C-alpha cells in the first residue's frame, strides 16, 4: 500500500504540473484574443475583476460577455477522488482547445487585414482577389531565346514581346518555360529569324546549321551576283576544294546551273522591286559602249530616295543593242520602263553624245501623257557633269600634247629597265 500511494502521488504531481502549464497557455490565448501583445518582460493587462478587499483576482477573465476561469490548480491531494480529478482535467483541456482555435482564427483575420492594407497602400484601388498568387521567381535569364524577346509587364503579369513581329507571350518563370518562345521563333514568326538553324539550349549557344542543298545553291548564286564573278569560277579546282572543306556533302554545280540559279533569283526579286519602284519618283541614267568583240551594249540604272531619305539605285537593264542611234536607244528604254511599270519618271541623265539628244526627244514624245509627268518633261534631260569635265580636260591638254607624249615615252622606258630608272632619278636630283 505505501508503494502504491507513492506512485499515485507522483502521478498526480505530474498531472497537476501539466494542468498548470495548460492554464498558462490558456491565459496567453485569452490575452491574444483580447488584442493584447506580450513581450518577454511585459506584464499582462487583462480585463479582470477585483476581489472583495480591493485586491486583483486573476482567477477569471471576462471576454465577449463570457467568463473564463484561469485558475491554476495546486498540487492535487493524493487522497482526492480520481473521478473528480479527471473531470477537472477534461474540462480544462476542452477550454484550452477552444482557446487555441479562436487564437488561430483571430491571427488569420489579422494577417488578411494587414495584407489588404498593404495592397491598398502600394497599388491602385482595385479589387483584390482573396486567393493570393505565389511569388514570382526572379533570376538571371540564361536561355538564348531572350536575345530575341523583350520583357515587360501587362498589368502585374510578366510578358515577353517578340523583337521581330511583336507577338506577346506570358513568361512567368514559375509557371511558364521557354518552349513556346522557341516554337514561335522556329515556326510562327513571319520574319523566320531561326530559319535553317537549330539553336542549342545549353552550352555556348553556337547555332547548329542544318544542311540544305537549295540554300547552298542560293547562297552560291548570290555570291556570283554580288561579287560580279564569272560563272566559270565555280568550276575552278581551288573553289571546289574550298567548298568541300566548308561542306563536304555539297557538290558545286556547273556554270550553266549557276547561270540558271542567278536568273531564277532575278525572277524572284523582280516583283519585290517593282512594288518599291511603283511608290517613288524615278531618275534614270543610261550609257552605251562597244566591246572588244564589236558588240553594242546599253545599261539602264534607276535612282530614287526611299522612305528613310537614303539614296537607292538598281540596275534595271543590261542588254545588247543593234546600233547607237537615238531612236533605237529610245525604244529600248521605253520597253524597259513599261516592263517595270515605271510611269513616274523625273529625269534622265546622259552624256553629251548627239544620239542621246534624239533619245530624250523620243522619250518626251512617248511619256507626255503619263500620269507622273512633271512640267511636261521640261527638265527631263540632265547632262552628265563628269563627262563635261572630262571633255574640258581633254580639250585643255591638246595644246601640250607634244610634251605629254615625251613624258609618256620616258615613263615607258623607265618601266622596262629598272637600272635606267635609278640613273634617271639620281641625275634629276643634281639639278636645282
More confident residue, 398 or 22: 398
Partnered with residue 317 across adjacent β-strands are 300
If you compute the radius of gyration of the chain from its CA atoms, what whole number of angstroms results? 49
- Residue 430 pLDDT level (bands cut at 50, 70, 90): low
Least-confidence region, from 59-68, 266-275, 390-399? 59-68
278-383: which CATH number, 1.10.20, 3.30.420, 3.30.1380, 3.40.630?
A: 3.30.420
Angle at 234 between CA 232 and CA 238, to 5 degrees: 115
* Per-residue pLDDT band at 57 (split at 50, 70, 90): very low
H or E stretch covering 362: helix 354-366
pTM reported for the whole predicted model: 0.46
Note the helical H segments in 247-325: 255-277
Q: How confident is the model at residue 130 (pLDDT cuts 50, 70, 90)?
A: very low
Distance CA 366, CA 335 (A): 11
C-alpha to C-alpha distance for 221 and 210, rounded to whole angstroms:
19
Question: Where exactly does CATH 3.30.420 map onto the chain?
Answer: 278-383
Q: Average pLDDT, stretch 86-95?
A: 69
What is the mean pLDDT of the segment spanning 166-182?
85
- Per-residue pLDDT tens over the stretch 229-247: 999 999 999 999 999 998 8
CB atoms within 10 A of CB 311: 8
Cα–Cα dist 400/394, whole Å: 10
Over 80: is that where the pLDDT of 132 sits? Answer: no
Higher confidence at residue 103 or residue 87? Answer: 87
Amino acid at each position: 500500500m505505501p508503494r502504491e500511494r507513492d506512485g499515485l502521488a507522483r502521478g498526480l504531481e505530474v498531472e497537476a504540473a501539466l494542468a498548470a502549464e495548460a492554464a498558462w497557455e490558456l491565459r496567453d490565448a485569452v490575452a491574444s484574443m483580447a488584442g493584447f501583445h506580450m513581450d518577454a518582460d511585459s506584464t499582462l493587462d487583462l480585463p479582470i475583476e477585483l476581489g472583495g478587499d480591493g485586491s486583483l483576482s486573476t482567477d477569471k477573465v471576462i471576454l465577449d460577455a463570457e467568463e473564463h476561469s484561469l485558475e491554476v490548480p495546486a498540487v492535487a491531494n493524493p487522497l482526492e477522488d480520481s473521478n473528480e480529478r479527471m473531470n477537472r482535467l477534461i474540462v480544462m483541456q476542452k477550454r484550452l482547445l477552444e482557446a487555441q482555435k479562436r487564437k488561430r482564427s483571430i491571427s488569420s483575420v489579422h494577417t488578411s487585414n494587414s495584407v489588404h492594407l498593404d495592397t491598398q497602400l502600394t497599388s491602385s484601388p482595385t479589387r483584390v482577389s482573396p486567393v493570393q498568387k505565389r511569388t514570382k521567381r526572379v533570376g538571371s535569364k540564361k536561355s538564348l531565346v531572350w536575345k530575341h524577346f523583350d520583357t515587360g509587364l501587362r498589368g502585374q503579369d510578366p510578358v515577353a514581346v517578340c523583337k521581330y513581329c511583336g507577338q506577346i507571350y506570358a513568361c512567368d518563370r514559375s509557371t511558364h518555360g521557354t518552349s513556346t518562345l522557341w516554337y514561335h521563333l522556329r515556326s510562327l514568326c513571319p520574319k523566320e529569324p531561326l530559319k535553317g538553324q537549330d539553336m542549342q539550349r545549353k552550352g555556348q549557344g553556337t547555332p547548329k546549321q542544318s544542311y540544305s542543298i537549295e540554300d547552298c545553291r542560293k547562297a552560291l548564286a548570290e555570291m556570283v551576283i554580288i561579287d560580279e564573278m564569272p560563272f566559270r569560277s565555280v568550276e575552278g579546282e581551288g573553289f571546289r576544294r574550298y567548298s568541300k572543306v566548308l561542306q563536304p556533302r555539297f557538290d558545286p554545280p556547273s556554270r550553266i546551273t549557276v547561270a540558271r540559279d542567278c536568273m531564277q533569283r532575278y525572277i524572284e526579286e523582280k516583283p519585290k522591286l517593282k512594288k518599291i519602284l511603283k511608290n517613288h519618283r524615278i531618275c534614270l541614267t543610261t550609257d552605251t559602249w562597244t566591246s572588244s568583240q564589236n558588240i553594242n551594249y546599253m545599261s539602264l540604272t534607276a535612282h530614287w530616295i526611299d522612305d528613310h531619305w537614303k539614296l537607292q539605285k538598281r540596275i534595271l537593264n543590261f542588254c545588247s543593242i543593234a546600233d547607237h542611234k537615238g531612236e533605237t536607244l529610245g525604244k529600248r528604254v521605253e520597253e524597259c520602263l513599261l516592263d517595270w511599270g515605271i510611269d513616274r519618271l523625273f529625269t534622265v541623265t546622259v552624256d553629251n553624245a548627239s544620239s542621246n539628244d534624239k533619245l530624250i526627244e523620243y522619250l518626251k514624245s512617248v511619256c507626255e501623257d503619263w500620269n507622273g509627268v512633271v512640267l511636261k518633261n521640261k527638265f527631263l534631260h540632265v547632262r552628265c557633269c563628269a563627262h563635261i569635265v572630262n571633255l574640258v580636260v581633254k580639250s585643255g591638254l591638246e595644246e601640250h600634247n607634244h610634251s605629254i607624249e615625251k613624258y609618256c615615252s620616258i615613263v615607258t622606258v623607265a618601266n622596262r629597265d629598272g637600272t635606267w630608272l635609278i640613273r634617271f632619278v639620281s641625275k634629276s636630283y643634281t639639278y636645282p
